[in-house]
Structure 1
Amino acid sequence: MSTTADSTTESTTGSAAGPVSTLAPEHTGRLRQLTAPRRRVIRDWDPEDTAAWAAGNDRIARRNLVWSVATEHVGFSIWSIWSVMVLFMPQAVYGFTPADKFVLVAVPTLVGAVLRVPYTMATAWFGGRNWAIVSAVALLVPTVLTWWLMVNPGQSLTTFLLVAGLAGLGGGNFASSMTNINAFYPQRMKGWALGLNAGGGNIGVPVVQLVGLLVIATLGNRRPEVVCAVYLVLLAVAGVGAALFMDNLDHQTANPRAMGDVLRHADSWVVSLLYIGTFGSFIGFGFAFGQVLNQTFLAGVTNGATPTAAQAAAASLQAAQIAFVGPLLGSVSRVFGGRLADRRGGGVVTFWTFVGMAVAGVLVTASAHADDTTPGAATALQLTGIIGGFVALFVLSGIGNGSVYKMIPALFERKSQAVPGPAVERAAWSRSMSGALIGIAGAVGALGGVLINLGLRASYQGESHSATAAFVVFTLFYVGAAALTKVRYR
């Protein structure tokens, strides 16, 4: 079936492959009126039509994927911008302790997690293209406020937390972007497409950290506004690109009932729990890795005393030189994880991912404990264990992100065989439920990032003033997740 684009009139949901609404018939007319954007609409999109796909639909899907990645990428960068800002915040100038800074990076994580549920619905209500534009423009607000706040130290922690919370808008972009791309691609390519879309977005975490590194290395740790200025430009580029090159799909049906229906399936809860272990680890460590390194380097030179400005600047530069590596490799490995899951199965890949994460967790815990019990700065072997274990956790969590998200459409494709009705209605049910769970699992998984930062905060407030206790808990979780995956999906 071919597709047509209508740039001037409201499209109709005439595709036989479009999602079937579970609302009562008397409500479908009103729903269609709300969910059919009037600009740049593609009608009758059927990604499973192989002839139309080969005739040009693949290029349309790819074009939307490219700009979906771009907007999500910048959204991730703004979401994680406070993981960089804390490196520009020496305690002597801003007055915040390491525990305060872990709360500061946890708040945008929490806001982004909560927003993922309504953002899942947004592409259907407003259109994938339209919402990509709106979400990019909205991020200008926290970026400008972050700029102002960082060049005016002395504000209260509450003020900082409020502005950091607004950066959480960037975390919602993931859910809307993933739901949109899920509708563009056929079942046989979803693991690759979703992995590439998510991986390209996830790279926003290390890229903003790289920008921070370049600023610290060239201008010192007193010019955070330069990072904000760079992202104001990138937000403008992403918004204009989405307006020029993305499309809306007329058959994306905003169905709040699907969000409730999907939670009646036990697999939805299990998948969401597994995603806490994979994406929660990625985003939580992505926000916290630089701060953990910063504290490790400072502990080696201050012996518990308040660091001087020179010591704080040197530790920030050392941390920034390393912190971006883990999120970068984790973002790239997500694409590999999705492709591997296409070939081997999501459950198998997810199981071995958690086994590897448990081993990496043991390595980090043992190295951190050795550092705690050894006077003076961490030895080269201890630093190698901590940094190497962290990097392994990033890579494995990225693979697991791709494999868990591959499991979602595969699970509901299999469950759809029990749905009464013709094949097109079963496919529509599978697509609707998959889209709903993508948003819910994304939100629940992001909460894992909050738990990681709060766990690290509590660990640093303990007697040892280190992250060792937190990593014991994280490692035990990975062991339990591996066991759960093996029992249920293998």
Structure 2
Amino acid sequence: MATVEAPEFTFRYQQRGRWIDHWEPDNNEFWENGGRQTARKNLIFSVFAENLGFSIWVIWASVVTAMGSAGFHFMTGPSAVSNALLLTSTPTLVGAALRIPYTFAIPRFGGRAFTVFSAGMLLVPTLGLAWFINQPQTPMWVFMVLAALAGVGGGNFSSSMANINFFFPEGKKGAALGINAAGGNLGVAQTQLFVPLIITLGTHIMAKNPGGFRFGITLAVLMWIPFILIAMFGALRYMDSLSGAKSDGTSYKSALGNPHTWVMAVLYVGTFGSFIGYSFAFPTLLKANFPELAKIGWMGTLGNLAFLGALVGSMSRPFGGWVSDKLSGARITLCVFGGMAIATLLIMMSLSAKSFPLYLISFLLLFALSGVGNGSTYRMIPMIFTAEARRRASETGQDIGAALISAKRQAGAAIGVIGAVGAAGGWVLQQALRLSGLHYGNMNPAFWGYVVAYLAMGGLTWWFYLRSSFATGRAPSLAHANV
């Protein structure tokens, strides 16, 4: 009896979105015959949606600088800076908390459906803010709730990264995830550039009075609505979901029990926590420390140049990953923390000298270094878990192939945890600034705390990943692995 061979599976690229049951990007033939196009298509719409998530997440950083002029009494007087930092730090904390459940949502609901949902959630804080900003008697607690709702934009990062991670082969994930992350981070810079511009435009249209400022803020918020709707439509029509994108609970448990996950989480607090924390706080800090800039028309229109910080931080992130491939992520991270400590000291010097040029240059240096550090620490994570797996397999005789597969899964799980903790560091940074100003009348105590923290994080990097010999204890040094 003749044997009937099963028909060979052929993958076909489709422009329209769908559920894909068979996906093997590491198969070169599969990748070249439609896999690459499909992955690239999903990356494009993922970047667009994530970029909007970051834009709405950080929108309060620019809005709070105009709320006092818009007639909200709690944003004037001695408590104005403290209340502004409270409003800007709230979405940071909520966004950090949402990063873990958003990571698990992709395997549960599929990338296509959850991207539509997560983009649609951005309508709630934007429409809510557009309504209540025009109610002058609205109490601060209402704006706190709206700021918390804006935190959904911060959660979009984890779902977007988790989704794109499934689409690309191992050799191309780094570049794809780097593009995805940088595209999201740029949302911070574009918001801090365009929102002040639109607020200024609306204010001039309606004359410089509280009503004019409220109209300007309303325009600056509503301008995002069409883009959110486009992101929802694009994801629904064109993105795909992968049936094989399943979560691995065992890997998450292993990652949570691995001390390297928590060491890297602390380091990411220093890099990404600084980037997102200062991105939220920078417009308020500029207005509080150099109020005379508001009298310079073009500088006020550009949001007091606050967008430059997020811009250089976003653009330097891919460079951090690239240079880490050449010189090792741990060495770059150590240099980053030393540089960030120096930049923070320069910030304090600029405040003492009341020098705006030095202040701006120092902050831009700090942002650039935080971006490089974001890239270098992300590069370290998979290298650490791979090096650990190789060492353990060598010592115990475990199959190296199985060990490396487990390491990849643990690294993916650890990235979700590390990203959430790092984002929460942005909230801690802003609260330190707020409490320092509230209790000491200036922010120097907070800045001194950052200097100590950066030096301590540099010490942690050296201790665990750059020493020439193994450390005793639970988390050994991996200097031999060129992490």
TM-score bracket, shorter-length normalisation = 0.7 to 0.9
Note the C-alpha offset of 1:219.
2.5
Paired letter, 1:351:
L
Identity among equivalent positions (%) equals 38
1:84 alignment partner, one of 62, 67, 80: 62
- Residue of structure 1 in register with 2:46 after alignment: 68
Contact 1:6 1:43 in 2 (8 A): no
Aligned equivalents of 2:325, 2:168: Cα separation in 1: 14
Note the C-alpha offset of 1:5.
6.8
Change in CA separation of 1:172 and 1:164 when aligned onto 2, cut-off 3 Å: same
Q: How many corresponding residue pairs?
A: 438
The 5 Å alignment of 1:244-323 reads: 244-298=237-291, 317=300, 320-323=303-306
- Residue of structure 1 in register with 2:83 after alignment: 100
The 5 Å alignment of 1:49-68 reads: 49-68=27-46
Change in CA separation of 1:423 and 1:135 when aligned onto 2, cut-off 3 Å: farther
- Residue of structure 1 in register with 2:164 after alignment: 181
Contact 1:199 1:333 in 2 (8 A): no
Paired letter, 2:118:
S
Note the C-alpha offset of 1:457.
0.5
Contact 2:251 2:406 in 1 (8 A): no
Paired letter, 2:435:
A
Deviates further, 229-238 or 426-435? 426-435
Paired letter, 1:404:
T
The answer as to 2:143 corresponding to 1:160 is: yes
Paired letter, 1:47:
P
Note the C-alpha offset of 1:112.
0.5
Paired letter, 2:323:
L
Change in CA separation of 1:294 and 1:270 when aligned onto 2, cut-off 3 Å: same
Q: Which runs of 5+ in 1 are unaligned?
A: 8-38, 302-310, 372-381
- Residue of structure 2 in register with 1:478 after alignment: 454
Note the C-alpha offset of 1:421.
7.6
Bigger RCO of structures 1 and 2 (CA < 8 A, at least 6 apart): 1
The 5 Å alignment of 1:50-449 reads: 50-90=28-68, 93-96=71-74, 97-220=80-203, 221-222=213-214, 223-298=216-291, 317=300, 320-371=303-354, 382-417=355-390, 418=392, 425-426=402-403, 428-449=405-426
Aligned equivalents of 2:73, 2:36: Cα separation in 1: 53
Cα-Cα RMSD:
2.6
In structure 1, the residue corresponding to 2:23 is in which secondary structure?
A: coil
Contact 1:5 1:42 in 2 (8 A): no
Contact 1:123 1:252 in 2 (8 A): yes
Aligned equivalents of 1:244, 1:108: Cα separation in 2: 30
Q: Which runs of 5+ in 2 are unaligned?
A: 1-7, 75-79, 204-212, 467-483
Aligned equivalents of 1:64, 1:434: Cα separation in 2: 23
Deviates further, 452-461 or 59-68? 59-68
- Residue of structure 2 in register with 1:489 after alignment: 465
Aligned equivalents of 2:22, 2:306: Cα separation in 1: 45
Aligned equivalents of 1:5, 1:475: Cα separation in 2: 54
Change in CA separation of 1:55 and 1:81 when aligned onto 2, cut-off 3 Å: same
Once the two structures are superposed, residues 403-449 of structure 1 have per-residue CA deviations (whole angstroms, 9 ceiling, x without a partner) of 21122222233344447887775454234322211211111001111
The answer as to 2:19 corresponding to 1:41 is: yes
Contact 1:272 1:440 in 2 (8 A): yes
Contact 2:61 2:281 in 1 (8 A): yes
Once the two structures are superposed, residues 225-279 of structure 1 have per-residue CA deviations (whole angstroms, 9 ceiling, x without a partner) of 1111111111111111112222212222123443332111111001111110111
Note the C-alpha offset of 1:487.
2.1
